[in-house]
A and B are shown apart, each in its own frame.
Chain A
Amino acid sequence: MSASFPPSEPRPDSEGNSDRMRAVARYSGIAAQMIATIGLSTWAGYWLDKHFQTKTPWFTLSLMLLGLFAALYNVIRSVTKEH
């Protein structure tokens, strides 16, 4: 069946459109990853504070900031990467 299927023709007019869609898709994924990174690291810190019964929530604070840093670093790295 694949042999009898119409061969692909170069379609220069539609090329830009699907490439733009691809870029939109890539950048929307970066946002989701940023939210997940900050959220999960904060949650991990919160859990650790509960587990060790700390008076001051050091784990929450440090892991939240670390998550924020990692997420921002990842965003900057992703958008400056050449494709």
Chain B
Amino acid sequence: MKRLLLALLCLFSFSVYANEPTSTQEEATDKEAFSPGEMILHHIGDAHEWHFATLGDEEHGTHLTLPLPVIAFRPGKGLSVFSSSQLAEGKTYDGLKLEHEHLVSEDGSKVYDFSITKNVASLMLSAALLLLVFTSVARGYAKRGSGAPKGIQSFFEPIIVFVRDEVAKKSIGPKYERYMPYLLTVFFFIWFNNLLGLVPGGANLTGNIAVTLTLAVLTLLITLFSSNKNYWHHIFATPGVPKALLPIMIPVEIIGIFVKPFSLMVRLFANITAGHIVILSFISLIFIFRNIGVAPVTLAFGLFINMLELLVAILQAYIFTLLTAMYIGGAVEEHHDADYQMGGGNGADEAHAHAH
């Protein structure tokens, strides 16, 4: 196990400098100036093709690229499906071309882009990976029951139990069980995709705001649809607030409903994107200074940040899951006497227990 971990660490550390220089070296040695901002934005953004590396010159060298299907819909013209290699290097195909990774038509008419982009392909890959891993874990429980877990099942069991006991049970309370599928899915989806984003050539999926928006909207919908009377009572007649202040506090509480998922969206997006930008910036320093002397320093820093990103990957998955569970917990929470400053709390629970 230790040796495996060591091998994994080596793999990840190599990714820092195996990943980037191949495509940027040429730009630096060329007469044209190396633009780190452009390179970084290209690396964290979505693309219509999956580019891994360029061997040799930018113009004459070999591009190691996986072409992906482009699916475009134009009102009046209908659907057109073709390979993204038809659009490579600014080429035009079927009246369509790419402008800064944005699919546009030559005559300026509207194009709806449903392409399998790098991020979509990565999403499908990770979905397949998650299905593969967790059907195997589930099979383990079907076969061995409550016996000792084996193989991949024994790796994931403590994590699943942690999400159940530390996140769901403590945040949601007795009704936690029906939210477990969503919480576990969100946790492993974010964690796996954060890690896949750190693999050389991987897509920056969880650093894409559309992906985090979808996750946040799902959390919002689940919170709203599982909300009870007590939740809405807290928003429209907040206990402990004078009646005269309610016209001011109701908008504040309503803003609060939307701020919570909004902060979820921004937190994940910003953390993952910032991590990628910092690593790429350290690598770029070598090409900005054009000096091999700075390489050991920047690589050391890049390595350090990459190690940190491994921690951030699971931390952000945990925080997203924990906050989702807390928001759901707030929506399904039952009425407390303590809210009205009537004592309540443990004493009230005991009184109920005695009454039975």
For B260, give the chain A residue with the smallest CB separation. A29
Which residues in chain A, 68-83, are within 8 Å of chain B measured between CB atoms?
69-71, 73-74, 77, 81-82
Q: Tell me if A56 counts as interface (CB < 8 A to partner B).
A: no
A6 to B138, CA, bound (A): 13
The segment from B44-52, B122-130, B245-253, B271-279 found at the interface with A is B245-253
B170 within 8 A of A: yes
Q: Is the CB of B161 within 8 A of A6?
A: yes
Contact indicator B259/A32 (Cβ below 8 Å): yes
Tell me how many residues of A have a C-beta within 8 Å of chain B: 31
Q: In angstroms, how far is the closest chain B Cβ from the Cβ of A16?
A: 11
Nearest CB of B to A72, in Å: 11
Q: Which residues of A contact B167 (CB under 8 A)?
A: 18
**A66 and B146 contact, Cβ closer than 8 Å, known pairs A6-B161, A21-B322:** no
Question: How many chain B residues touch the partner (CB < 8 A)?
Answer: 35
Bound Cα distance from A25 to B325, whole angstroms: 11
Contact between B326 and A77 (Cβ–Cβ < 8 Å)?
A: no
CA gap between A18 and B168 in the complex, in Å: 11
B141 within 8 A of A: yes
Q: Is B263 an interface residue (CB 8 A)?
A: yes
> Measured between alpha carbons, how far is A36 from B262 in the docked complex, in Å?
10
Q: What does the 1/0 interface line of A12-32 toward B look like (CB < 8 Å)?
A: 001000110110011011001
Is A53 positioned at the interface, with any CB of B under 8 Å from its CB?
A: no
In the complex, are the beta carbons of B259 and A22 less than 8 A apart?
no
Query: Which of A8, A18, A29, A69 touches B161 (beta carbons < 8 Å)?
Result: A8
Q: Are B252 and A33 in contact (CB under 8 A)?
A: yes
Q: How far is the CB of A55 from chain B (nearest CB, A)?
A: 27
Interface residues of B, dominant DSSP:
helix
Contacts of A26 in B (CB 8 A): 326
Whether B165 contacts A11 by the Cβ 8 Å rule is yes
Query: Does residue A54 face the partner (Cβ distance < 8 Å to B)?
Result: no
The CA-CA distance from A63 to B169 in the complex, in Å, is 41
Partner of B146, one of A6, A37, A40, A82: A6
Please give, as numbers and ranges, the residues of chain A lying within 8 Å of B141 by CB-CB distance.
Answer: 1, 4-5
Q: Encode contact with B along A34-62: 1 for CB under 8 Å, 0 otherwise.
A: 00110011000000000000000000000
Task: Report if A5-B322 is in contact (Cβ < 8 Å); known contacts: A33-B255, A69-B248.
Answer: no
Task: Flag B322-348 by CB within 8 Å of A: 1 or 0 each.
Answer: 110010000000000010000000000
Q: Which residues of B contact A6 (CB under 8 A)?
A: 146, 157, 161
A77 with B240, Cβ < 8 A, contacts A33-B259, A82-B338 known: yes
Please report the C-alpha to C-alpha distance between residue A4 and residue B248 in the assembled complex, in whole angstroms.
51
Residues in A neighbouring B255, C-beta threshold 8 A: 33, 36-37, 40
Known contacts A69-B248, A70-B251, A74-B249; decide if A25 and B142 are in contact (CB<8 Å): no
> Is B252 within 8 A of A74, CB to CB?
yes
B248 touches A29 (CB 8 A): no
Q: Does B39 contact A (CB under 8 A)?
A: no
Q: B259 near A25 (CB under 8 angstroms)?
A: no
Asked if B293 CB lies within 8 Å of chain A CBs, one says no
Q: What would 5 A/B residue contacts be, using CB atoms closer than 8 Å?
A: A6-B146, A21-B322, A33-B252, A33-B260, A66-B248
